[in-house]
Structure 1
Amino acid sequence: MENIGSIAITAFITLLVTVLAGALLEYFKRVKPKLKYSIKESIPIDLDDKKIGANIIEISNPSAKTVKDIVVKLRARGSEIKNGGVKTVTGMDYEVTESEDILEIKIPFLKFKDYLSITSILEGKYSIPNKPEITVRSPDNFKLIEEGERADKGYFSMASGIVAPALMAAVAVSLALTTNIMSSRSEQGTNLSIAAAVVGLREVAQYYVSNDKIYYYNQGPFIYSMAKSEIDKTKIHKYGDFLEKTLKIAPRMTSQSEAALQFFIARIRSLEGNDSLANDWLNKSEKSNKDEYNQLVEYFKSESPNN
């Protein structure tokens, strides 16, 4: 009798496990994949009698299921919206189309942990929205969640009661120590990408969006070298315009960085053959920071701008 009882219990447990496994499988089949998005609000700035702002929009797939044929539409009613550069995981395909107040991004698919981040540049005569409207579509059935939204409230509610106060304090201290550095890098890269997009240097804007370690100070020689190697000589002025826009956009900049950018604006204007304007910028550079100016003059004194 004991053997029969053991067999019956084993059979029941086996049946229960099988049923539960089948139920779980059916549940996961029915669970919708998720797409998550975030939008960083812009702070409008005045540039050339227009309002200019930049937003960083990121869309990612935090779920195990792949979502296919995704179309993201960004709309800025009453303003012009441009592509300021895209950053993605390596090898991702995408297509960006600009049309007045709409920016459309087509993504063939997003797998688990895939993401696409795009910087949108908003321009308006009198005002711009602090962020564009966003719509995300796909033939797949998915759930769209915003960054910070709790997709699984039960789990997070339980976890919040388990996390120790000491851990939360450690996280707060870590954030306090790193926020200033990271926000400074982000601000400089964003401002540089805005300036590049405004003057029509799309590849340069793309570079600044894709690079996290950007500082104003060392952008002068980089942009000057690009101007010197530019095949289309009618475009050289855009590189000088870009550095000038950067000086206008930057809310705060050290005198050393300001002098360096002004010095390389002068060299780019010399490449254009506008020596009068070049001298004006050299004078501005010397006034901004004489030590930096003298150091750059000494370094470049053996090089003619037109060589």
Structure 2
Amino acid sequence: MYDIKPVSAAETNSDIRILLANPRGFCAGVDRAIKIVELAIKKFGAPVYVRHEIVHNRYVVEGLEAIGAVFVDELDEVPADAPVVFSAHGVPKSVPAEAEKRKMVYVDATCPLVSKVHRAVERHQSSGRHILMIGHEGHPEVIGTMGQIAEGSMSLIETVEDAESFMADDPAELAYVTQTTLSVEDTADIVSTLERRFPELTNPKKEDICYATTNRQVAVKEVAKQADRVIVIGAPNSSNSMRLVEVSEKRGCSARLVQRAADIDWAWVKGAKTIGITAGASAPEVLVEEVIEALKERYNANVELVTTAEENVVFKVPPILKDIT
């Protein structure tokens, strides 16, 4: 299942403490998106096409490919008579419009919390406000959100420096939204800068950064306080996973991102007495278990759960799939 790299006899079977962050791993939006693909395959039969990775995790993507999902970059790669699912990150309005023009059957797996941001963008535009999108250029969620309204109606703000240099045509008619998977602390610094420069800036009624992103960052902060190293399980193109690495590092705890147990740098682990483990919102629990087992192959490991919140959020699937069980 994973590679076992040799370690010295002196290190083998030494004692370590594993702190397992809770919450970690799959969130309600990811659970829903994966279920949507599985139900679509069950309803329509294979193949079901998926525009972009349904979530940012190769293990999940490969598992869905094995049961009949076909992942593509753009809609024009999908036959007109084949069903297509849009990823959890959301898509520009032009994508479903094109699907309707081609009379395609499509299922939108956009996370409801991302959809909430889309609706806020539409409201701001209808009120005549220019919108500042706090997020990372090129991320699918940012592309999808900025594609909800006409080009030029939104400006991307990635850093505090961007917030300092942005020039508004009408400072009294500005609003901001954020990517849902950002660092809570970094975003707060950007928002603080914008609010100082533009006192009439319209804020979201409720923070856009999703509950799962926030909860996972709070949990890893608690783990990082006590750990010598933190292993974050996730994909390098997963924004929320990368933020967990950054949050750990900012707490003074060395952190590394791994996709599988085989990616662990055992030289980096060597000498640590306490190892923290967490997982991004797109990483399944089976990969967490794999990493723990890899550590147990080398050490006498005691696992402790560090709980900072309990999650019980569940999102419904789209009506087109409700009759499938």
TM-score over 0.5 (shorter chain)? no
TM-score (norm 1): 0.23
Larger Rg: 1
- Which protein is richer in strand relative to its size? 1
TM-score (norm 2): 0.22
- Which protein is richer in helix relative to its size? 1
